[in-house]
Amino acid sequence: MNGQWTIDSMPDMSGKRVIITGGSGGLGLETAYGFAAKGAKIIMAVRNMQKGYQAADGLLKKFPQASVEVMRMDLADLASIEAFAAGVIGKYEDLHVLVNNAGVMIPPYSKTKDGFELQFGSNHLGHFALTGRLLPLILKTPGSRIVTLSSIAAKKGFIYFNNLHGQIGYSAMKFYGQSKLANLLFARELQKRLSAVGADTLSIGCHPGVSNTNLISRGSGKQAGKAVALLWGLMSQPAAMGALPTLYAATYPSLHGGEYIGPDGKGGRRGYPTIDRSVDHKMNEETMAKLWRVSEKLTGVSYDFSAASEAAKKKGILYGVKL
C-alpha cells in the first residue's frame, strides 16, 4: 500500500504523550524506541519495575533527549489498573496514544488476581479496563489514538462465552487465540462506539506477524530455552520489524479507525505494515456487542463517552447512533 514503511516514515511526535503496556521488552520496547526516535513522551506501563528501569536506561542511552517514565501496572490485577489510570489522570492533561501491547502466550492454566483465565484476563480484560479508565483523558486529547495488538492467532480464534475462564476445560493455544480475537473485536467495537458519538479518537487493531520476542516463555518471564529460542528465531522476523504495524497504526495520517494493520508478507507473518483484511470474516456484530457487555460486567468498567458527545454536539456532528 505504501511501499516499505519504516520508522523514518513516521511523523514528528514531539510533545505527544504515549503509554505503552509491556514497554520493558520485546515489541513494547521496540515500539518505545520508535516513538523516542520521533520525540514522543513515553510512559512505560510495566509489571516489573526493575526491568522497566533497565529498559528506560537503555532507551535513554540510545536517545539521550528522550522523555521516558516508568510506572507500575499489572494487567492481571484490576485494582492495579485502576491505580495506574488514576495516577496518569491525576498527573497529566493529555494522552495522545495508548498502545495496548502487553500479553502472555500459552502459559499453563492459571488465573489473574481477580479469578479470570490468565490470557483472556490479561490480554483482553486488562486492556479493556485500562482503556475504559483512561478514556476521559484520551477523548479530551485532539487526534488521539488507541492501538490494540492482536495476533495472527486471531484468525482461528473463537470466543468461548460458556467457558471464558477455562472452568470446563483448558487448551493453552485455543485460549490464546480467544484472547487475541477478543483484542481484535474490542478494537473494532470501540471504533464503532467512538464513531457513534462523533469522537475524533481512533481505535485501530494491529498484529506483529511472527516476531522474535520472549512471548514463547509462556508467561514465565524467563528466557526461553536455547533450542526453542533458536527455532523461533529462524521462523520469525526481528522484533523491530514486528513493532512497525503498531507504529503505523499509531501515527499513519490517512487511517480512519477500525483498520487492522499487519505485515504485508505471505500469511501476514513478515514484512512491512499494510491493512490486513484476512480477518474481516471474524467481525461478527453480535459477538462484538456481546463481548463488550460481558467485559463491562466482568471488569466493572463502563465507558463514558460523554466528553466526546458534548464536543460533537457543539460541532453538529453527533450521529445519533444508539449504542
Q: Show which residues are catalytic.
A: 176
Q: At what angle do helices 285-299 and 172-196 cross, to 10 degrees?
A: 100
Q: Which three cell numbers stand for residue 37?
A: 526516535
Q: Which residue has the cell 479470570?
A: 116
CA–chain centroid gap for 158, Å, is 19
Neighbouring-strand partners of residue 237: 211
Computed on alpha carbons and rounded to an integer, the radius of gyration of the chain in Å comes to 18
Amino acid identity of residue 62, one-letter, is K
Distance CA 248, CA 262 (A): 9
223 φ/ψ sector (left φ>0, alpha ψ -120 to 50, else beta):
beta
Closest CA to 311 of 204, 190, 202, 200: 200
CA 178/CA 164 separation, integer angstroms = 9
First to last CA, the chain: 33
Q: Which of 131, 71, 96 is nearest to 15 (CA)?
A: 96
Q: Within 13 Å, how many C-alpha atoms sit on residue 286's CB side?
A: 1
